[in-house]
Amino acid sequence: MLLAPIVLIAQAATAPPLISGSVTNAESGQPLGFSIVTLQPGGRRQFTDRSGTFAFTGAPAGRYVLSVRQIGYTPLDTQLVIDGERPAVLQIALRHLAIELPPVTVTANRCTNPGPPDSTDTALRAVFDQLQENARRFELLADSYPFHFTLSLSIREVGLRGDTGPPELQRIQLPSNDHHPYHVGRVVERAWGPWGDPDHFVVIRSAELRDLGNAEFIANHCFHLMGRDTIEGHALVRLDFEPALRIGSADMAGTAYLDPESYELRYTVTVLTRPERSELSDVSGMTFRTRFRDIARGVPLQDSLTAITTYRFSRERRAKIDTQRTVEVRFKREPPPP
């Protein structure tokens, strides 16, 4: 994170106090549309438009910190003083993020000190921050451009001889604000809304994008940078997470895979830990693989998910395969800029 001076251009006072400006690529000078700009105090935030410009109106005189974030770029924070009479026009240039990744290493870890990585491991902290940026961008998109999306669901039962029966098919529609935040002890919970009757169904969580940015999730997990790894033929940046040893209930461990150039989230793999310490007493294991695609510039949404559940005591089935596919995304108002 940089705390840097900014170019301020004084203009005649023709409007209420105003903070505006543009965000560009420091190397090419090209505008960086869909960057997140946040003004503190107040927590006001917005995306830049396609030409990289932004504006905050009605800012009274005082000291502010302006934060600018673009996925794949070094974040920038700057202090400015507004005198309450003249607008401030800012020219902000962001540089591409350069992270020296370690070679792939797989070691046994024990999560005894969960929480966000500290600054001593600069590569881990930088990749972790980019994962958080993915989550922040999704949240701001859902607030600024509300949408709903439709999932196509397919469930297949695998018999003891390996045969599969006909799939059960259904569709459900979810709004972008439909989110049950992660909480310790609630990774397996009663169904809600379109997911089914809570008296007959439970929902098992995989690591959703919002979970990966959730403060309680971060406080109860450890994160490990594993370097570059390959999934489905793509060489990606691998960041592992695991629950704290103190958690006695079912929870989530897994991996987030990010694009090595843009640092956009591409895949997650999630394993349900300690399923026997939930309502899933007959489940021996459950693994999710989720693929993401952009629905706006640098904003990922689940494209498909496959969950494989294996059973330990069942005399009728060996496993179950759940598949979800996003078949439609519809914005409630105008769509975000391309």
Q: Please, what is the average pLDDT of the chain?
A: 89
Decide: residue 92, CB within 10 A, 0-12 exposed, 13-18 middle, 19+ buried.
buried
Closest CA to 238 of 138, 73, 127, 119: 127
In a domain? residue 117: no
**Residue 14 CB neighbours (<10 A):** 8
Is the separation of the CB atoms in 68 and 35 below 8 Å?
Answer: yes
- C-alpha 5, offset from chain centre: 30
What confidence score (pLDDT) does residue 281 get? 86
Q: What is the pLDDT of residues 136-154, one digit of tens each?
A: 999 999 999 999 999 999 9
| 83 and 127 both lie in a single domain | no
In a domain? residue 112: no
DSSP for 98-165?
A: ---PPPP-------SS-SS--TTSHHHHHHHHHHHHHHHHHHHHHHHS-EEEEEEEEEEEE-TTS-B-
In a domain? residue 99: no
Q: How confident is the model at residue 199 (pLDDT cuts 50, 70, 90)?
A: confident
Q: How confident is the model at residue 296 (pLDDT cuts 50, 70, 90)?
A: very high
Cα separation, 210 vs 252, whole angstroms: 14
What confidence score (pLDDT) does residue 2 get? 46
In a domain? residue 110: no
Q: How confident is the model at residue 107 (pLDDT cuts 50, 70, 90)?
A: low
Count how many domains the chain has: 2
Structural domain range at position 63? 2-94
Residue whose entry in the numeric block shows the structure tokens 């995306």:
47
- C-alpha 64, offset from chain centre: 27
| 267 and 325 both lie in a single domain | yes
In a domain? residue 151: yes
| 90 and 139 both lie in a single domain | no
Nearest-Å Rg of the Cα atoms of the chain is 23
In a domain? residue 114: no
Q: What is the pLDDT of residues 269-287, one digit of tens each?
A: 999 999 999 999 889 999 9
Examine the pLDDT at 8 and tell me if it is beyond 60.
no
Q: What is the CATH number of the domain that holds 269?
A: 2.50.20
| 323 and 211 both lie in a single domain | yes
What confidence score (pLDDT) does residue 46 get? 96
pTM above 0.85, yes or no: yes
Q: What is the pLDDT of residues 206-244, one digit of tens each?
A: 999 999 999 999 999 999 999 999 998 999 999 999 999
In a domain? residue 139: yes
Q: What is the pLDDT of residues 43-96, one digit of tens each?
A: 899 999 999 999 998 888 889 999 999 999 999 999 998 887 778 899 999 999
| 153 and 53 both lie in a single domain | no
| 63 and 135 both lie in a single domain | no
| 90 and 126 both lie in a single domain | no
Residue 133 tokens read as: 């940026």
| 203 and 74 both lie in a single domain | no
Is the separation of the CB atoms in 176 and 335 below 8 Å?
Answer: no
Say which amino acid occupies 239. L
Q: What is the pLDDT of residues 170-195, one digit of tens each?
A: 999 999 987 789 999 999 999 888 88
Question: Regarding beta strands 53-57 and 88-94, do their DSSP bridges make them parallel or antiparallel, or are they unpaired?
Answer: unpaired
| Domain finish residue from 76, 94, 112 | 94
Q: What is the pLDDT of residues 9-45, one digit of tens each?
A: 444 444 555 899 999 999 999 999 999 999 999 889 9
Residue 20's region, left for phi above 0, alpha for psi from -120 to 50, else beta, is: beta
Q: How confident is the model at residue 196 (pLDDT cuts 50, 70, 90)?
A: confident
| 192 and 51 both lie in a single domain | no
Q: What is the CATH number of the domain that holds 41?
A: 2.60.40.1120
